[in-house]
């Protein structure tokens, strides 16, 4: 694109902005002018009341959403390499937002506690095992061990692919993965839906006991 | 009941509350199941609210014009007032177009997400102002 074309586009962009702002200002002034002309009394308190009402309307929607969204009792375990902690935190936050209960973070393990034992017991107490597949995690002994534990304990495994051109571990090859490389938001939504559907299959809403659900765990 | 419907609280509290609730609710409830029920974008209700208010004003102008035609005693001043109301409605339509352009040009964070101020708060405040104006004008004795 040549310089003249860019200048022309910028000018059109600027003009459309100015016209838009002028249109908004004229609209506001015309409202004020007609309220004066028709002697309509709009007190400041009315405006405050309306803003408050709009906020209340939004809050009612949020409350409705919170009340109608089930809070699940089953735990979800996220397995990842330390080098992928940023994306793991992103997934963690999204799952917490959906009111799922997640396994404890490695940071919460006390000094002197056996990390392997603590994480193994966390996997055992979880129903769903999410594993982030990356160039780092496929070579991580910890992640390999966690995958083995998840398979051994018949956990539902949900793989998430976050790196290109890597060979997926043989144990996970047959499972469909959420593809974070293609479209992160879409993949995150797919993952959340998969978690929800699997928990539904396990009959794990808050009303059901954990023991019943563990018995229904499914091996992939 | 009639007292409630004619009270100031109904105009400036119940109408904005119900409108906001319904716009957000309908937007989120109609989304496909694959996506989350409530998203940040659902709270951008200003433009929809503005359109509703402008249509109400437009219908109000039509009703008043019909009254003028039927009642010969209404003066030229009344006709001028109707024209004013009609003109304001046209200006508000342009205002909504302007606000849509601002949201389109400045309001998007990326392909799917809106910015909080330019994409949500600003159009919401504008839509709410038009709604307040509409509920104040409709039912007011302007003739």
User: For the domain with range A75-215, which CATH number is right: 3.50.50.60, 3.40.50.620, 3.40.50.10140, 3.30.1490.20?
Assistant: 3.40.50.10140
pLDDT of residue A217: 34
pLDDT at A173 over 70: yes
Q: Name the least confident of A29-38, A66-75, A193-202.
A: A66-75
pLDDT at A210: 37
Burial class (CB in 10 A: 0-12, 13-18, 19+), A11: exposed
Which of A21, A26, A185 faces B112 most closely, judged by CB atoms? A185
Task: Name the average pLDDT for chain B.
Answer: 83
pLDDT of residue B143: 55
| Cβ atoms of B141 and B59 closer than 8 Å | no
Instruction: Please tell me which residue of chain A has the smallest CA distance to B104.
Output: A17
Close Cβ partners of A56 (under 8 Å, ≥ 6 residues apart): B17, B20
Domain boundaries, chain A: 3-68, 75-215
Q: Provide the pLDDT for residue A207.
A: 37
Section A66-85 average pLDDT: 79
Residue A215 binned pLDDT confidence (cut-offs 50, 70, 90): very low
Residue identified by tokens 């009254």 is B67
Average pLDDT over residues A34-52: 83
Residue B97 clears pLDDT 90, i.e. is over it = yes
Given pLDDT bands bounded at 50, 70 and 90, which one contains residue B135?
confident
Q: From CA B13, how far away is CA A166, in angstroms rounded? A: 58
Task: Write down the pLDDT at residue A212.
Answer: 35
Contact criterion met (CB < 8 Å) for A53 and B130: no
Over B52-89, what HEC string results?
HHHHHHHHHHHHHHHHHHHCCCCCHHHHHHHHHHHHHH
Q: Are A178 and A190 in contact (CB under 8 A)?
A: yes
Q: How far is A24 from chain B (nearest CA, A)?
A: 4
Q: Do the Cβ atoms of B20 and A50 come within 8 Å?
A: no
A123-166 confidence digits (pLDDT tens): 888 889 999 999 998 888 888 888 988 998 889 999 999 988 88
**Cβ within 8 Å, pair B132-A50:** yes
Query: Would you say residue A77 has pLDDT above 80?
Result: yes
Long-range contacts, B120-124 (Cβ 8 Å, 24+) = B120/B40, B120/B43, B120/B44, B120/B46, B122/B46, B123/B44, B123/B46, B123/B47, B123/B50, B123/B99, B124/A54, B124/B43, B124/B44, B124/B45, B124/B46, B124/B49
Which stretch of A25-29, A96-100, A195-199, A211-215 has the lowest confidence by average pLDDT?
Answer: A211-215
Predicted structure pTM score: 0.61
- Closest residue to A20, CB basis, from B38, B101, B133: B101
CA distance B24 to chain A (A): 7
> pLDDT confidence of A213, banded at 50, 70, 90?
very low
- Higher-pLDDT residue of A200 and A141 is A141
What confidence category does residue A10 fall into, taking pLDDT thresholds of 50, 70 and 90?
confident
For A203, left (φ over 0), alpha (ψ -120 to 50), or beta? Answer: left
Best of B25, B28, B35, B36 to mutate (most A CBs within 10 Å, chain A): B36
- Looking at residue B96, what is its pLDDT? 95
Tell me the two tokens of residue A25: 């200002």
> Minimal Cα distance from A197: which residue of B?
B34
Which residues on chain A are in Cβ contact (under 8 Å) with B129?
A: 28, 31, 47
Q: With an 8 Å Cβ cutoff, are A17 and B20 in contact? A: no
What pLDDT was estimated at residue A220? 30
Task: Give the pLDDT band (50/70/90) at residue A122.
Answer: confident
- B20 CB neighbours in chain A (<8 A) are 53-54, 56-58
Q: Confidence band (pLDDT; 50, 70, 90) for A95?
A: confident
Q: pLDDT, tens digit, for every residue of A51-65?
A: 888 889 888 988 887
CA atoms within 13 A on the CB side of A170: 0
Mention every residue, 6+ apart, whose C-beta is less than 8 A from residue A128. A74, A75, A76, A77, A155, A156, A158, A195, A198, A199
Q: What is the pLDDT of residue B124?
A: 92
pLDDT of B9 > 50? The answer is yes
Arithmetic mean of pLDDT over chain A: 80
Tokens of A27: 């609209």
Q: Give the helix/strand (H/E) hosting A79.
A: strand A75-79
């Amino acid at each position: 694109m040549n310089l003249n074309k860019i200048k022309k586009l910028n000018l059109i962009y600027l003009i459309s902005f100015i016209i838009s702002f002028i249109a908004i200002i004229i609209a506001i002034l015309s409202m004020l002018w007609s309220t004066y002309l028709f002697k309509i009394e709009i007190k400041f308190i009315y405006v405050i009341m309306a803003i408050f009402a709009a906020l209340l309307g939004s809050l009612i929607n949020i409350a409705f959403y919170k009340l109608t969204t089930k809070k699940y009792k089953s735990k979800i375990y996220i397995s990842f390499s330390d080098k992928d902690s940023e994306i793991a935190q992103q997934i963690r936050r999204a799952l917490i937002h959906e009111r799922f209960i997640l396994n404890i973070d490695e940071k919460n393990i006390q000094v002197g506690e056996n990390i392997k034992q603590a994480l193994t017991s966390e996997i055992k107490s979880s129903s769903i095992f999410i594993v982030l597949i990356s160039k780092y995690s496929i070579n991580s002994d910890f992640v390999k061990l966690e995958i083995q534990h998840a398979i051994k304990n018949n956990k539902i495994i949900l793989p998430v692919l976050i790196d290109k051109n890597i060979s997926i571990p043989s144990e996970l090859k047959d499972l469909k993965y959420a593809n974070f490389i293609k479209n992160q938001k879409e993949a995150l939504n797919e993952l959340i839906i998969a978690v929800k559907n699997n928990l539904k299959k396990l009959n794990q809403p808050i009303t059901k006991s954990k023991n019943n659900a563990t018995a229904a765990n499914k091996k992939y | 009941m009639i007292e409630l419907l004619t009270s100031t609280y109904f105009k400036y509290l119940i109408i904005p509350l119900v409108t906001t609730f319904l716009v957000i609710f309908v937007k989120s409830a109609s989304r496909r199941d694959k996506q989350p029920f409530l998203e940040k974008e659902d709270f951008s209700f200003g433009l929809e609210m503005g359109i509703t208010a402008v249509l109400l004003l437009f219908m109000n102008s039509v009703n008043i014009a019909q009254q003028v035609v039927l009642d010969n005693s209404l003066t030229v001043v009344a006709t001028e007032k109707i024209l004013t109301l009609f003109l304001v409605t046209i200006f508000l339509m342009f205002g909504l177009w302007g606000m849509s352009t601002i949201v389109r040009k400045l309001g998007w964070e990326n392909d799917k997400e809106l910015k909080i101020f330019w994409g949500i708060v600003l159009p919401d405040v504008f839509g709410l102002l038009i709604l307040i104006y509409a509920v104040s004008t409709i039912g007011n004795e302007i003739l």
